[in-house]
Amino acid sequence: EDKVVQSPLSLVVHEGDTVTLNCSYEVTNFRSLLWYKQEKKAPTFLFMLTSSGIEKKSGRLSSILDKKELFSILNITATQTGDSAVYLCAVSYSGNTPLVFGKGTRLSVIA
């Protein structure tokens, strides 16, 4: 059973649209939730969330964590073609353990 579940798995939008990507996770030994953007190579770090209800923001991207409902969302406003990528959600559990990744959301932004 998957510990980290992302939805949707793929999404096609037009430039200028706003998108919301979802990530739900298992709670046992939860430490933090991380969002990454992956284009052709290794993932690049976007956000790390540890506290509920505190929005993290970077330009047109923002993210928030709900530890009661066990999910996080990643919002992208005014999308651009350069936002096309796979967005990965990963959860860090306590201890010296690896990140557990969701399957990712493949976002395609068309002009």
Smallest gap from residue 81 Cβ to other proteins (A): 19
21 or 43: whose CB is closer to other proteins? 43
* E strands present in 1-111: 4-7, 10-14, 19-25, 30-38, 44-49, 56-58, 61-66, 71-76, 85-93, 100-101, 105-110
62 or 92: whose CB is closer to other proteins? 92
3 or 75: whose CB is closer to other proteins? 3
Residues interacting with other proteins, by CB under 8 A?
31-32, 34, 41-43, 45, 48, 88, 90, 92, 96, 98-104, 106
* SS3 assignment, position 82: helix
